[in-house]
Structures are given as structure tokens and as C-alpha cells.
Structure 1
Amino acid sequence: MHRNPPPCPHATYFPSNLLGSTAFYLGLILTTIGFWAYFTDRPTLNLAGFFYGIPVLLIGIALRTAQLKPVPYSEPTTDEVAAARERYATDNQKQIRKDMLGYRYAEKAHLGESLEALGLAPTDEERPLITALRETLTDGAYTLVIEFDSPMIDLEKWQSKQKKMVEFFGPDIRVEIEQPEEEYIDLLLISTRHADSTTSADTEPSSQAA
């Protein structure tokens, strides 16, 4: 489940590695023009090509090598779950999903700062790494599941941070932690808006009757 995730039909990937690729190819073109101008004795064009091309090329290379790729889905999202996301997902769930589905720059790992704030990444070597995500329903509630490779942070340590996670990822979030197999952790961020909506619907007729 964690190692060979299939494509997800309901996944929207934000945005691509356009920044790094644009800088790389623009720098490459300008540098090439600079070399061409040098060998054809065009000093002004030569200077401009080298002056702008090489720095832009180096920036592009740095961005391409330092980028975090989008997190893949471990299983396709069904139409029912996608509809629940649109209706019940919290702002934090939406933002986390968006961040993980996009290229990231100048970051060591997806949710790296969040894990540090929660006390789950004491060092870079011990930091759990996100391997995939998936979306499901938990008793009808929209659930964003983040799958971690966590060989150095055990289940007990994760569970000790559960209350803090509710405050960190809230509001309107319930947190569950599962261990599907040794050294792997599933973090379930469950929207409580479905329960609130159901409760309101159940009590509304009584209020009207009264």
C-alpha cells in the first residue's frame, strides 16, 4: 500500500515545478546565446548572455535539485469521498492536502516544520517521512490520511502527541493514529463537521415541533 501508489482520478496537483524548470531553461538559453555571441564576436550580446544567463541557470539548477516532489496517493479517491471533501473538509485539511500535492522549495520535508512543532522530529535523521496520502470516510466523516515511514519514532510517541495534534490541526478536527505495519504510521485527520451537520439536522424537526 505504501510503496506503489496508483494515480488518483480526483487528485489536483498544484502547481508543477514550473519555477525551477523556467529558470533552468531560460538560463540555459541565455548562456547559450552568450557563448554564441562570444564566438561570433558580438561583445554586447555576449556580455548580456553571460551576465544574466549563468546566474539564472544556477538558480534553476538549485531549485530543481532542492524541490520536494508532490506526495502521491496510495489509493484512488472515490466520488463519494470527493463529494464529502467538498462539503465537510476543514480549511486546514484543504491546505495540508494542497501543500502536499504541490512542489515545495526550500523545505526539508513535507510537513517538516509541523512535525518539529509537535515534537516528532527531534533530528533530521529521526523525522518521519510522508510516503503517501489518501482520502476516506470514517463513520461518514471526511478523513485525510497521511502515511508516514516512521522507523525511529514509535507508535507510543505518536500517541503521546495526539491531544496536541487536535489543537495543532484544528479546529473541527479529530485525530486518530494507526500503525498498519511495523515502522509505518497512518495519521487520520477527521473532520467533525459531518457530525455537527448531522446533529443539527436531527434536532431541527424537534425545534420546529416545539
Structure 2
Amino acid sequence: MLRQTSLGTLGLGVGFVLTIVGFYAYSTGNATLNLAGFFYGIPVLLGGLALKAAELKPVPFSKPTSKEVMALRQQQATVTQNQIRKDVTRYRYGQDAHLDSSLSSLGLSPTDEERPVLKGLEEKEVDGAYALVLEFESPLIPFEVWQQKREKIKGFFGPGIQVELSQPAENCVDVALISTPQV
């Protein structure tokens, strides 16, 4: 629940209420409440503004996850798949983009302007295995470059991962991280 709550919005709301209470207490001559309202309200309001300015919103699921796929996730998902899913589906602060350091390490983000942007996420079954599909918008990095980096992506997100790349539309790249269940 807290993962889906914007701390910036929460800080703005609480700070605003405390500041208004401080102003009201000042106008009615209530010195104690006035001091508490200003002393806590304004810093919390400013902190909320700072968090809101540095906020990176969660990546949405492009399709709802079925119960069968959730059960498959429980059985087969790797630690890396779970970590990626949890990280990109929560609010982040102080980052330019989701998975920015991973893309840089893979050589898929030479500059901030060229960095692919994670637009969606999907969980599905591929040949009986759990797959986490990362849906990138990649207008400046061609699909051929992604294909050249396939083995590097596999090594980066592995072990226990197979990588499949697809291009569902122009300037879009889907990276399917498929678990390889141990038999």
C-alpha cells in the first residue's frame, strides 16, 4: 500500500493542513497552536514540494496479471525478476528514469536524451515459464542495437533468465525476462 502512495503528495497535504492551522491560530490569537502550525507545517510543506519535484511515478501494468500467471510467479520468479517488478511499480525519488543505471551498464543509455524509457510492464506465461516483459519506448536506440546486446542483457539479469526481444511497434522494444525453471 505504501509503495503506491506518493510521499510528495502526502507531505504537501499534511504540510498544507498544518500551515493553514498555523495561520488560523495566528488570526485567533492562539500562540501555542500558531507556533506548532508554523514550526511543523512550513517545513513539511517544503519537504513535500521537494519530494514532488524529484518524484518518478510507478510504471503501470499494460495488461492485468491473471491468477495463473501469479501462481507461476510464486513458483518460478527469480529474485531479480521480483526485484525489478517491485522497484518499477513504486514511487522513486531522485532518479531520472526507471532502470537508468541498468541501461547505462548495458550500454543502452549513452546519454540522458537517448535513454529508452520504460513505459509498461507485463507478466505472462511463455512456454510454461514465468515471464516479466519490460516495455520500452526507444526512439533513438535502434532494435538492432538491442539485439546485439541480448547476451549482455541475459548475463546482467541472470542467472536463471532467458531473454527474448521483440519490436511490437516502431520505436518500441519489449524485453521478456523469462525464468528458466530448474528441472
TM-score (norm 2): 0.91
- Tell me, in whole angstroms, the C-alpha distance in 2 between the residues paired with 1:49 and 1:79: 48
List runs of 5+ in structure 1 lacking aligned partners: 1-12, 198-210
Query: Aligned to 2:164, which of 161, 164, 176?
Result: 176
What's the CA shift string for 1:84-143, capped at 9, x where partnerless? 111000011011111122111211111112111211111211111111111122221111
* Superposed counterparts of 1:145-164, under 5 Å: 145-164=133-152
Q: Which amino acid aligns with 2:100?
A: G
Task: Pick the structure with more strand per residue.
Answer: 2
2:12–2:48 CA contact under 8 A, matched in 1: yes
1:128 aligns with 2:77: no
Aligned to 1:80: 68
SS in 2 for 1:15: helix
Aligned to 1:138: 126
Aligned to 2:80: 92
Query: Aligned to 2:103, which of 110, 115, 126?
Result: 115
State, as a whole percentage, how many aligned pairs show the same letter: 55
Task: Kindly name which structure, 1 or 2, has the bigger radius of gyration based on alpha carbons.
Answer: 1
Q: Which amino acid aligns with 2:127?
A: D
What's the CA shift string for 1:24-79, capped at 9, x where partnerless? 22211221122112222334433332232111101112223432222112222223
- Tell me, in whole angstroms, the C-alpha distance in 1 between the residues paired with 2:33 and 2:128: 64
SS in 2 for 1:58: helix
Query: Aligned to 2:52, which of 45, 64, 74?
Result: 64
1:33 aligns with 2:21: yes
- Tell me, in whole angstroms, the C-alpha distance in 2 between the residues paired with 1:177 and 1:61: 39
List runs of 5+ in structure 2 lacking aligned partners: none
Q: Number of residue pairs matched?
A: 183
- Tell me, in whole angstroms, the C-alpha distance in 2 between the residues paired with 1:14 and 1:169: 27
